[in-house]
Amino acid sequence: MKWKTLDSTYISDHVYFTARRDRCEREDGTIIDPYFVVEMPTSATALAITAENKILLVKQYRHPLGEVILEFPGGFVDPGETFEEGMRRELLEETGYAFGQVEWVGKVAANPGVLNNYTELFLATGGVKVQQQELDRNEEIEVLEFTMEEFFEKIRRQEIVQALHVSCLFFALLKAGKLAFTG
């Protein structure tokens, strides 16, 4: 079932958005041309809980949607960083909080039909504000704190729409034993 790549032509070459047009051959000989792939670095996101048991969310404008949305903190893992190091750095940069524990809970592929990357998912606990935000040039991020009740009300009202972040919540709850399946 694996395809053989016969040719790749890059149509965009940027550190955060590299796109290529592939010509592929299936095992049965069928040629698939074109097949577009967007190459992106691994990203990471965390359900971030402060030492006071508050949930940290970030509020920012997302141009592709044309909306300001609530999200979990996160971003791309830099070359040479472990996933945990990248997550800790993103938490500190975006929120100004350092976390006592940053525990890996899983990984997901956002859209494996087009994107080639994974997002590593974490549960960060014991957060303490230690500095001001250190945002990238294109970031405008407001950090918000919510009680558990307020946070879960936002989930119920579907106010958190970023699919990777909802997946992170699912795996964090599963890891924490707050979610169980019976068969």
Q: What is the pLDDT of residue 152?
A: 93
Alpha-carbon span 124 to 83, nearest angstrom? 13
Does the structure show a pLDDT above 70 at 168?
yes
Other beta carbons within 10 angstroms of residue 28's beta carbon come to 6
Give the pTM.
0.91
Please report the beta strands in 109-156, taking only residues with DSSP state E, as ranges in sequence order.
Answer: 119-129, 142-146
Q: How confident is the model at residue 17 (pLDDT cuts 50, 70, 90)?
A: confident
Residue 74 has pLDDT above 60, yes or no: yes
Identify which of 57, 33, 32, 30 has the alpha carbon closest to the alpha carbon of residue 46.
57
Whole-number average pLDDT of the chain: 94
Residue matched to tokens 């990777």? 164
Q: What's residue 180's pLDDT?
A: 61
Decide if pLDDT at 93 tops 70: yes
- Which residues are within 8 A (CB) of 93 and not within 5 positions of it... i.e. 6 or more apart? 75, 133, 134, 135, 136
| pLDDT one-digit tens code per residue, 111-156 | 999 999 999 999 999 999 999 999 988 899 999 999 999 999 999 9
Average confidence (pLDDT) over 73-82: 96
Scanning 55-127, the segments in alpha helix (DSSP H) are: 83-95
Per-residue confidence band for 1, with pLDDT thresholds at 50, 70 and 90 = confident
pLDDT at position 158 over 80 = yes
pLDDT of amino acid 181: 60
Q: What distance in Å separates the CA atoms of residue 8 and residue 170, rounded to the nearest whole number?
A: 36
Q: What is the pLDDT of residues 19-56, one digit of tens each?
A: 999 999 999 999 999 999 999 999 999 999 999 999 99
pLDDT-derived band at 183 (thresholds 50, 70, 90) equals low
d(CA 21, CA 33): 8
pLDDT for position 132? 97
CA distances from residue 111 to 42, 94, 101 in whole angstroms, order as listed:
13, 25, 29
